[in-house]
A and B are shown apart, each in its own frame.
Chain A
Amino acid sequence: MEKREIAIIGGGPAGLAASIEAARAGAHVLLIDENASPGGQLFKQIHKFFGSKAHSAGIRGIDIGKKLLKETEEAGVEVWLNSSVIGLYEGNNLSVVRSTAEGKKIVTVQADKILICTGGQENAINFEGWTIPGVMGAGCAQTMVNVNRVLPGKRVLMIGSGNVGLIVSYQLMQAGADVVAIVEAADHIGGYGVHAAKVRRAGVPFYLRHTIVRAVAGENQEVCAAVIGQLDDQWNIIPGTEKTIDVDTVCIAAGLRPLAKIAQMYGVKHDFIPEMGGWMPMHDENMETSVCGVYVAGDTAGVEEANTAMDEGRLAGIAMAEALGYIPGEKAEQRKNDIRKSLESLRLGPFGERRLKAKERIIARGVAE
């Protein structure tokens, strides 16, 4: 069994930010990521960020990722890549399938403090043919295009017009695919106007109050068409409105939910918070959960975006270092308060305010049983 002061599961924006803060304070930090390189979703984000200068406005996600990686290295964080945490067990024991020169082996790591920042997972929609090759999550298509440089298809139908649906549509078009239509069940476009305008200008039609009825498999058992239909007030498909669209790829952008299985198996208290993606671990103002010494941050602690994930990661990193005695209480409190203010400023506007209220509700209800 290996022992560490801090183990961080997931090397996305939250995990990188947390590991930098904690390691700079002097703690021995182990960062574990199942991918070949850390960075999480940042390396898929080739677009520029919005917001204030303090929150990396105008910088592309991929460049923020590179900067964080460099800082992680400088701070002396120990990083295990291609390594999956398969469970968290009694006594803060993590089971890790670790990649080594001799191949994969299962290692037990016991850590004083554990941060779970494994991100979110895409919601699926069940419809006839949803398991046919060619139907995929929008995030999956984004990884294929922006990370692996593989075009998932030539003619794409996007289900969902939230920011993910809009941004991925645009990036698929930049990569050479034809986005044939964007289907949205609500009566309005879900994402920011600026993203919607870009795809609209490129001539992509939006089908509002529509949904996918089925995906159709061709001779090769892959998607060859999709049928969409219009919805009535009761969200039922209006007979006779079905329309067949010739596509080879269907992308589902139906939102994300917190990925918190590790926290759940360790008995961390959860609750259903619809604004943050649903069933999620509860945490206090230090990102600590109902289990002492176990923290959450980023999409695992409620689906938001990269900037809030980085801030929550910093908050957790400082709180863990403080709890281990590396940062004196008063200084830590001041730095944590600065980050809390920064988080508040990120949760403004019609989109942010719902999340701000949800976070306030989570912290007010506390983590005690």
Chain B
Amino acid sequence: MMSKTADVVVIGGGMQGTCAAYYLAKAGQKVILVERGDLASGTTSRSDGDSFINDVPPGYMTEFAEATIKEFIKMDKEIDCDFEWVHRGCVLLMETEEEVEFAKELAKAKQATGSQVRFMDQKEVHDDEPNTAPDIPGGLEFTAGGALNPMQLAYGLGREIEKSGGELMRFTEVTGFEKDADGRVCKVITNEGEIITDNVVIACGIWSQSIAEKVGVYLPIHIMKGDLLVIERDAYITRRKTMEFGYNLVRNENHSYKRKVSPFMEKYGIGFLFEPTNSTNGLVGFSKYAATDTVSNNLVTRAIAKRAIRFFPKFADVSVIHCYAGLRPQSPDGEPIVSRTNVPGVFVSAGHGGNGIMFAPISGKLVSQMVCGQKTDMEMGPLSLNRFQRVEPSVTR
């Protein structure tokens, strides 16, 4: 087989890989994207799809989220693909007075850094959406952020990459790498031949760790499973993406806070989210627990439904037509790894956990800037691989 040449080889054809390859191709790099299956065949097709600043703590991560929303808005105008981007903000609902107090503080903190967020009291929440359970004491409304169809976007970006002269090698598996005398990566070996290149971006989701190992990079990523339900068409619940506040509170601000949920819900990381989709089949989530298979768990889906009914009793009368589960590649601290590595020429965009779709555009843009030797839009320290010490993989499960 003849060997090919490229400025950059991107490994992975999911949301991270297609975004990274898109920005690289736009920057004039000759890109080859290598994907083991078809585009969007892994976690990208087993997620919900949205991008909001409510999912992250104030500070750097909120800036990161705002930057990615801007990229989605730009992409929506720039690429020749309708990826069903709907920019209509979201609502977070509280369950207790204690959560209301936290929410008010959070709103202030986010407002202080310029985020558009508004606290709604009990009456405002119900005036805004009468389907909300009567005892919900408050909500936070975020104006920025939207929902999208990740599969459409991955395919749309695939076409853009090809238009810019890039190449998609689908159904192609990376089997190894070669380095030059200085230790810099110089070749990617696949089952379809070799690619001579100076740069490699590892962006293959849950497979990133094993690919990184082949080139001598330690990438600490563990796998979390998430279940989602799909409801029947035209069953109106609420017009905007809506989530529970408590789950994010525990994740981002107050790790000692205990939500009022059953031990089962705690164990399987069950929280409420509802995402209206373009096709009107709403998505209901979610769960987060250590597992490596993508078969739905009926006890978990039942608990998700129960949690959803807690916030919107109307769900009890809605039919679930389908459910699915996906695997989320997660770094030890839960935040993405967008970074150079100890091997010159090897870069990583992976470990985004449950926020992979959301952070893909900005991650792809930053990794492209690093590869091209440009000044990055953001400071890269907080996303660097250096923040993790080499430890054996049993950690943090």
Interface residues of A (CB under 8 A from B): 87-91, 93, 95, 108, 265-267
Contacts and interface: CB of A to CB of B under 8 A. Distances in A.
How many B residues are at the interface, by size bracket?
Answer: 10 to 19
Contacts of B301: 89
Contact of B323 (A87, A91, A108, A267): A87
Interface in B278-308: 291, 293-299, 301
14 contacts: A87-B296, A87-B298, A88-B295, A89-B298, A89-B299, A89-B301, A90-B295, A90-B297, A90-B298, A93-B297, A93-B298, A95-B298, A265-B295, A266-B295
Closest 5 CB pairs of A and B: A89-B298, A90-B297, A90-B295, A95-B298, A89-B296
A271 to B, nearest CB: 14
B41 to A, nearest CB: 13
State the majority secondary structure of interface residues on A: strand
Interface in B315-339: 323-324
Count chain B CB atoms within 10 A of each CB in A87, A90, A95 and give the residue with the most: A90
Contact of A267 (B294, B298, B299): B294
A266 B296 CA distance: 8
A87 B297 CA distance: 10
A93 B293 CA distance: 15
Contacts of B291: 90
B297 to A, nearest CB: 4
A90 B302 CA distance: 13
B293 A267 contact: yes
Contacts of B324: 265
Nearest to A108: B298
A108 B301 CA distance: 13
Contacts of B299: 89, 93
A265 B320 CA distance: 14
A105 to B, nearest CB: 13
A265 B325 CA distance: 10
Given A90-B297, A91-B297, 20 more contacts: A87-B296, A87-B323, A89-B296, A89-B297, A89-B298, A89-B299, A89-B301, A90-B293, A90-B298, A93-B298, A93-B299, A95-B298, A108-B298, A265-B295, A265-B296, A265-B323, A266-B295, A267-B293, A267-B294, A267-B295
A90 B296 CA distance: 6
Nearest to A261: B322
B295 to A, nearest CB: 5
Contacts of B294: 267
Contacts of B323: 87, 265
Nearest to B291: A90
A85 to B, nearest CB: 11
Interface in B30-49: none
Interface string B228-271: 00000000000000000000000000000000000000000000
Nearest to A266: B295
B12 to A, nearest CB: 19
Contacts of A95: 298
Contacts of A108: 298
Contacts of B298: 87, 89-90, 93, 95, 108
Nearest to A267: B295
Contacts of A267: 293-295
Contacts of B295: 88-90, 265-267
B188 to A, nearest CB: 23
A20 to B, nearest CB: 29
A91 B295 CA distance: 9
Nearest to B298: A89
Nearest to A95: B298
A93 B300 CA distance: 12
B284 to A, nearest CB: 15
A40 B163 CA distance: 52
Nearest to B297: A90
Nearest to A265: B296
Nearest to A106: B302
A90 B323 CA distance: 12
Contacts of A266: 295
B305 to A, nearest CB: 11
A265 B46 CA distance: 12
A263 to B, nearest CB: 11
A267 B297 CA distance: 12
A12 to B, nearest CB: 24
A88 B298 CA distance: 8
B89 to A, nearest CB: 33
B327 to A, nearest CB: 12
Contacts of A88: 295
A265 B323 CA distance: 8
A267 B293 CA distance: 9
A88 B323 CA distance: 11
Nearest to A268: B295
Nearest to A291: B295
B193 to A, nearest CB: 23
B171 to A, nearest CB: 14
A279 to B, nearest CB: 15
A95 B301 CA distance: 11
Interface in B94-117: none
B233 to A, nearest CB: 15
A108 B298 CA distance: 9
A75 to B, nearest CB: 30
A94 B131 CA distance: 32
Contacts of A90: 291, 293, 295-298
Nearest to A1: B299
Nearest to A92: B295
A123 B297 CA distance: 31
A362 to B, nearest CB: 20
Contacts of A93: 297-299
A266 B297 CA distance: 10
A68 B181 CA distance: 74
A330 B323 CA distance: 42
Nearest to A87: B298
A88 B301 CA distance: 12
B270 to A, nearest CB: 15
B307 to A, nearest CB: 18
Count chain B CB atoms within 10 A of each CB in A88, A89, A266 and give the residue with the most: A89
B79 to A, nearest CB: 30
A262 to B, nearest CB: 11
A267 B325 CA distance: 11
Count chain A CB atoms within 10 A of each CB in B293, B296, B299 and give the residue with the most: B296
B350 to A, nearest CB: 23
A318 to B, nearest CB: 27
A87 B324 CA distance: 11
